[in-house]
Amino acid sequence: MLKTQRKKANANLFAGYQDLFRCPLCSSEMKLVDLKSLICNNNHCYDLAKQGYVNMLSHALKTKYNRQMFASRRIICRNGLFDPMINKIKDLITAGATPRGEQLKILDAGCGEGSHLAMILEKITQNYTKQTKSEYSAARIWVDAIINPLDTRKWISAGIEAANHSPITDKFNLGIIQV
Ligand SMILES: [Zn+2]
């Protein structure tokens, strides 16, 4: 993707979620102006960086972070130091997920190079994958039992026998099926 396209895509992403932001100085709502700055109701202005983030500090901050420190930080993250925090956030997000399919919005502020968010997403995905497996759903609610395929004939016979003993009901006449 070209730099200008990426910059525009990032700006549009901010535009779509500008309601999540509040000014760190006066707490008022913020709007994206000209696809390049987040500006609050009191005209405090924060420009979007070309890399796709917005720095909302009120003054420049000297940091000792360099490439080597980011690499070291990544190794520490990947080896479990932050797992309790990651798991807690994952649980909060999962509990906050709405069953009606509404979009859950999460603002990751002060996220560094994104390794925490990547791990949270990884855990949520693992959770989702686990819960959509047939064994999981069978154990929870949807299936009465898991049978040995060798016993299929026995179970079908039991089903036919049970149906054979049920009372005779009126014929079920279908109405219009709209597909
Ligand atoms: Zn403000």
* Model pLDDT for residues 24-48, shown as the tens digit of each residue: 999 999 999 998 999 999 999 999 9
DSSP string of 147-167? Answer: --GGGHHHHHHHHHHHHHTSP
Instruction: Specify the amino acid at residue 170.
Output: D
Q: How far is the CA of 54 from the centre of ligand 1 (A)?
A: 15
Q: How far is the CA of 33 from the centre of ligand 1 (A)?
A: 14
pLDDT band of 176, cuts 50, 70, 90: low
- What is the CA(172)–ligand 1 centre distance, in A? 67
Task: Answer whether 94's CB lies under 8 Å from 124's CB.
Answer: yes
Q: How far apart are CA 48 and CA 35, in angstroms?
A: 8
Q: 23 C-alpha to center of ligand 1: Å?
A: 5
Q: Ligand 1 centroid to 42 CA: how many Å?
A: 5
Angle at 138 between CA 134 and CA 139, to 5 degrees: 120
CA of 153 from ligand 1 middle (Å) equals 72
Between residues 65 and 29, which one has the greater pLDDT?
29
DSSP, collapsed to helix, strand or coil, labels residue 46 as strand
Distance of CA 44 from the midpoint of ligand 1 (Å): 4
**Residues with beta carbon < 5 A to ion ligand 1?**
23, 25-26, 40, 42, 44
Stated pTM of the model? 0.55
Our CA angle for 105, 72, 107, nearest 5°, is 10
Quick one: pLDDT at residue 70?
A: 83
Where does the chain have alpha helices with state H?
3-16, 67-78, 83-96, 115-131, 134-140, 152-164
CA atoms within 13 A on the CB side of 162: 6
Task: Tell me the CA–centroid distance for residue 15 and ligand 1, in Å.
Answer: 18
- Contacts of 138 by beta carbon, 8 Å cutoff, 6+ apart: 145, 146
CA of 27 to the centre of ligand 1 (A): 6
Helix (H), strand (E) counts: the chain: 6, 3
End-to-end CA distance of the chain, in Å?
42
Q: What is the pLDDT of residues 112-161, one digit of tens each?
A: 777 888 888 888 888 778 877 777 767 766 667 778 889 999 989 988 99
Q: Are 35 and 11 in contact (CB under 8 A)?
A: yes
Q: What is the pLDDT of residue 179?
A: 44
Ligand 1 centre to CA of 28 (Å) is 6
